[in-house]
Structure 1
Amino acid sequence: MSNEVGENHGNVVQAHHVGAIHLTSPEPAPTALDGLRAAGESFTGRDEELAELSGTTGLSVVSGLAGVGKTELVLRHAESGDFPGGKLFVDLQDYDDERRVSPAQALEEFLSALGVRDVPPTETARAALFRTITASREPMLVVIDNVRSARTVRPLLPKGQRTIVTSRHLLTGLDDAHHLELGLLPAAEAAEIVGDAELAELCGRLPLALRIMAALRRSDPGHDWAAELREVQLDLLDDGDERSVRAAFELSYRALTEEQRRLFRLAVLIPGSVVTAEAASVVTGCTEARARRLVRDLRAAHLFEPGDRFHDLVREFAGECVRGHEEKEIRDQAFSRLFHHFADRAEQMDAALDTPKQSEALHWFDRHRPMFVILALSALMMRHLEEGGRLAWAVHRYLEARGHWDDLTLTDTLAVDAARNLRDSWLTAIAQVRLGHTLLLTGEDEQALVKLHDAWKVVHDCNEPTVIRHALEGLITAYERNERLEDARLARADFDRIFRPGSR
């Protein structure tokens, strides 16, 4: 056997005789393709959402409020699916600055789980290798949890595999994804977790809060947890270990820009259940167009519910934020702007009801109706008597036309209270006449008679026929309904005397 080497660039060994040669390759790297934990035992319901995930291929984004159960839903879906190519899971913890996992780190985890020994050093190379490997595998599931932005998750998306991303944001930048927004649990399913319907509602039907409360109930079944929860709310919804509703909300809050955080804080000062762009612009001092964009941002972050409303527990958290970050003077100035603005606008819209702009005015009233009663009440309590009275007075015709009788009674009552606090006996009497007619409409005949009788004592000798007519017509009706027929006859005689031809 001979061997000739022309140019040697290393050690050369020549053997006189070589027997059998055995070529071997390194042992394949171990894989870790079933690392998803099981869904929690308290998981219940969500049948429609599970069916929707099961009926979808490619990329899905499951979004929703912190603590609403996004991860648990995906884990339960993973248990029911058939993924022969394996399951990959990574929690990016993208809302926690101290624990965040970068895309490069996540790709290293994925490639290691897939058996890659020599992971490339750069994120770009890792992403390319990940897509190459996953493209040729049997069907697999990739779960990417706690994603904050579309930009973060794009390098982690495999090629041709079932992928589910969870986020507190809508991630609308992932255009090709199927989007599933996860809402609160239905009342029955929420009660099943915590074992009590009242507690379920006090927990806002939020799964995280429900699971914490269920554990507390198990620790002390005889305690009145509902009473304590009503008293301390977020302080109670914390197990002292790793589950805390306040901490979950805090991470969502920190992920906002400073401008978004400021609107979130000040929006809690807006009375009623709906945060309108107009009201948001008033409390923050920005333009209405800018406020509309910020409100959309908060809805996309699921800190506002659909319809631009606060979840009850989120409202409590926002209240803590505004008290902790905004001086009392700033809060008082925001309230003052609200009272002045909506008193002025309500008067303008009330006047517009008699013009071709009636439909526009009705739309404005409809949009802001949830705030009228509580805003007028807040104005009176904070001694903004004039603005509270003006607002209550200006919404009367709208509320009557729409048949919102409870709100109408309350606002008319507040108009009377405002006039009394202003020590204006004439305005009080006129407001009582209006309230009396409202009470007649709602069947409160005895109360109506009291109000109309008191008002008549003040207005009977005034020089305003419209006021006298309105007061007397109401008083006659109230006497008749309360079966005071002689009083009704006398009042009708006064009416005929005053308004007969040739009189005033």
Structure 2
Amino acid sequence: MTNEVGQNHGNVVQAHEIGSVHLTSPEPAPTALNGLRSASESFTGRVRELAELDRDGLSVVCGLAGVGKTELALRYAEGFPGGKLFVDLQDYDDERRVSPAQALEQFLTALGVREIPGGEAARAALFRTVTAEREPMLVVIDNARSAQHVRPLLPNRHRTIVTSRHRLPGLDDAHHLELGLLTAEEATALVGDAELAELCGRLPLALRIMAALRRTDPDHDWAAELRELQLDLLDDGDERSVRAAFELSYRALTEEQRRCFRFVVLIPGTTITAEAASIVTGRAEARARRLVRDLRAAHLLEPGDRFHDLVREFAGERLREQDDQETRNQAMFGLFAHFAARAEQMDAALDTPKQAEALHWFDRHRPMLLLLAFGALLMRRFHEGGRTAAALHRYLATWGHQDDLDMADTVTADAKRNLDVLPYVRLFRAETPGT
């Protein structure tokens, strides 16, 4: 054999005699498909939710910050028999957010792909191709904020779990699981004390922080300190903080949504109505209804348009920090004036064909109206407080709300005494015909 080499562009081996040549492919890159961390050892309950995740295709787990979405996905993954891919998109943190292209690079690297293309679309196509040839896998996409961010990461046929603080209705074919608070029994088991469980609002993140604090000093009166400090106490000084978790959700809102979130905390009672939200935000009622729905979609309001106790505390903090006292007072005065007039209007409607509409309105707003009447007296708005309480009299007396009736009549009397101006008394209509 004669070796003649002109221009060399690679390796050259020269030998006197060559018998046979064996060509081998390089060893495949190692895969990393079982590197998920385990769920917390304190994980408890969620039997129904774990069973609900045991289905083919795409599942979206959504809920309030700190409610345990990631822990639920990790606990489910522990029992999954095949390979697993995991990425935390950190989509609520502008400084740490992982783009779809970056997430795909992580996935392809874990799958053993040596040459990864540069663009997101090319990476997504390669990811679908590679996963199509594999045995069943579980893909966990954590902390997603939008369906647009998730779509490039979805394999064609493998089981996938997405966690988000938002509902992701854009993922049409997904099974949606809204993760709620722990039951009273589960929360007590986690923190070891029934009173602390309720003070933590049965929120897993708060419960785990409190459980850790209890271990440091079992004899301390943690319930008393939690009642005093609330969110200040629910921070372990390391990575876990209830306030910080809520803050990320708050930052993800638009400016208009943030303002709504702050001001609806002024509405007394448990339920935020679109009518009340319209008054405190200065928006038309249709727009206020949409803003409240946005807050519910972001899980900053619970079903029924209610605040979780800890979220209410956080909203109050943001309001006091970002809006001055005069602005807050004007919002409250607007509530007092509007609902005094509306209560009188609905009281008059009880004598008309619109009685059913008036009764529905009173039923929906009754707890808020009583608290507004009390609040008006506390803020020395005796006129509005007295008008509101007096307008409730006939409805409460006729439909059997005796305890509320006693409170309303007390407010009416207190308002009259404080005003001490006789011409106003006739406006209160304490002696309503037909009662």
**In the alignment, structure 1 residue 128 sits paired with structure 2 residue 125:** yes
Q: Which residue of 2 aligns with 1:49?
A: 49
Aligned to 1:158: 155
CA distance in 2, matches of 1:9, 1:38: 54
TM normalised by structure 2 equals 0.95
Residue 200 of structure 1, aligned match among 181, 197, 201: 197
After superposition, residues 284-363 of structure 1 pair within 5 angstroms as: 284-363=281-360
Q: Does 1:81 align with 2:67?
A: no
1 CA distance for matches of 2:380 and 2:430? 24
SS for the counterpart of 1:395 is helix
Match of 1:36 in 2: 36
Pick one of 275, 278, 281 that aligns with 1:281: 278
1:89-139, Cα deviation, whole Å (9 max, x unpaired)? 011111011111111111000000000011111111111100111112111
Letter of the structure 2 residue corresponding to residue 282 of structure 1: I
Question: What letter corresponds to residue 50 of structure 1 in structure 2?
Answer: L
Tell me the distance in 2 between the aligned counterparts of 1:70 and 1:342.
Answer: 40
| Deviation at residue 427 of structure 1 after TM alignment | 7.4
Alpha-carbon distance in structure 2 between the residues aligned to 1:81 and 1:13: 50
Whole-angstrom CA distance in 1 between matches of 2:215 and 2:429: 55
Alignment partner, residue 482 of structure 1: none
Q: What is the DSSP-based 3-state SS (H/G/I as helix, E as strand, rest coil) of the residue aligned with 2:142?
A: strand
Displacement after TM superposition at 1:428 (Å): 7.0
Higher relative contact order (CA 8 A, sep 6+): 2
Identify if the C-alpha distance between structure 1 residues 14 and 225 changes in structure 2 by more than 3 Å, giving closer, same or farther. Answer: closer
For the residue of structure 2 that corresponds to 1:339, the secondary structure is helix
Query: Partner of 2:66 in structure 1?
Result: 67
CA-to-partner distance for each residue in 1:30-75, whole Å, 9 max, x for gaps?
1100111111011111111111112x21000000000000111111
Q: Equivalent residues in 2 for 1:85-234 (5 A)?
A: 86-234=83-231
Q: SS at the partner of 1:268?
A: helix
Deviations 1:381-410 (A, max 9, x none): 111111111101112222234333222221
**Change over 3 Å in CA distance of 1:401–1:184 after alignment to 2:** farther
Relative distance call for 1:215 and 1:13 in structure 2 (3 A) is: closer
Instruction: Determine if contact 1:412/1:431 at 8 Å carries over to the other structure.
Output: no
Specify the code of the residue in structure 1 equivalent to 2:171: L
Measure the CA separation in 1 of the matches of 2:424 and 2:277.
32
Deviating beyond 6 angstroms after TM superposition, the runs of 4 or more aligned structure 1 residues are: 2-5, 11-16, 425-434
Task: Indicate if the aligned counterparts of 1:40 and 1:72 stay in contact, CA closer than 8 A.
Answer: yes
- Aligned residue for 1:242, secondary structure, equals coil
Question: 1:456 matched to which residue of 2?
Answer: none
The structure with the largest alpha-carbon Rg is 1
Amino acid in the other structure paired with 1:22: H
1:199 deviates by 0.6
Cα distance change, pair 181–416 in 1 and its aligned pair in 2 (3 A):
same
Per the alignment, do residues 64 and 298 of structure 1 end up closer, same or farther by CA in structure 2, a change over 3 Å counting? same
Check whether the contact 2:147–2:168 (CA below 8 A) recurs between aligned residues: yes
The answer to whether the 8 Å contact 2:67/2:181 transfers is yes
Conserved? CA contact 1:379–1:388, under 8 Å:
yes
Q: CA RMSD in A?
A: 2.3
Pair 319,428 (structure 1): closer, same or farther in 2 beyond 3 Å: same
Residues in 1 aligned to 2:302 and 2:205: alpha-carbon distance in whole angstroms: 17
Verify the 8 A CA contact 1:416 1:431 in the aligned structure 2.
Answer: no
How big is each residue's C-alpha offset from its partner over 1:358-378, in whole Å with a ceiling of 9 and x where there is no partner?
111122122222211111111
Distance between the aligned counterparts of 1:182 and 1:394, measured in 2?
41
Is the Cα contact below 8 Å between 2:390 and 2:429 reproduced in 1? no
- SS of alignment partner, residue 59 of structure 2: strand
Change (3 A) 1:348 1:91: same
Stretch moving more, 416-425 or 214-223:
416-425
Q: Which moved more, 1:228-237 or 1:400-409?
A: 400-409
Specify the SS of the correspondent of 1:387: helix
Instruction: Please give the secondary structure, in 2, of the residue aligned with 1:132.
Output: helix
Task: Give the 3-state SS of the residue equivalent to 2:266 in structure 1.
Answer: coil
Asked if 2 retains the 8 angstrom alpha-carbon contact of 1:212 and 1:243, the reply is: yes
1:170 maps to amino acid:
R
TM-score normalised by length of structure 1: 0.82
Structure 2 gaps, min length 5: none
Aligned equivalents of 1:426, 1:148: Cα separation in 2: 58
Which of 370, 374, 377 is the aligned partner of 1:373? 370
After superposition, the Cα gap between the structure-2 partners of 1:334 and 1:431, relative to the gap in structure 1 and judged at 3 Å, is closer
Whether the 8 Å CA contact 1:416–1:428 is kept in 2: the answer is: no
Q: In structure 2, give the amino acid aligned to 1:31.
A: T
CA drift at 1:18:
2.2
1:192 shift after superposition: 0.7
CA distance 1:300–1:343, change in 2 (3 Å): same
Secondary structure (helix, strand or coil) at the match of 2:139 reads: strand
Deviation at 1:424, TM superposition (A): 4.5
Asked if 1:411 corresponds to 2:411, the answer is: no
1:411 positional shift? 1.3
Query: Do the aligned partners of residues 402 and 141 (structure 1) sit closer, same or farther apart at CA in structure 2, a change above 3 Å counting?
Result: farther
Larger deviation, residues 274-283 vs 420-429: 420-429
Q: Which deviates further from its counterpart, 317-326 or 24-33? A: 24-33
Partner-residue secondary structure (3-state), 1:73: helix
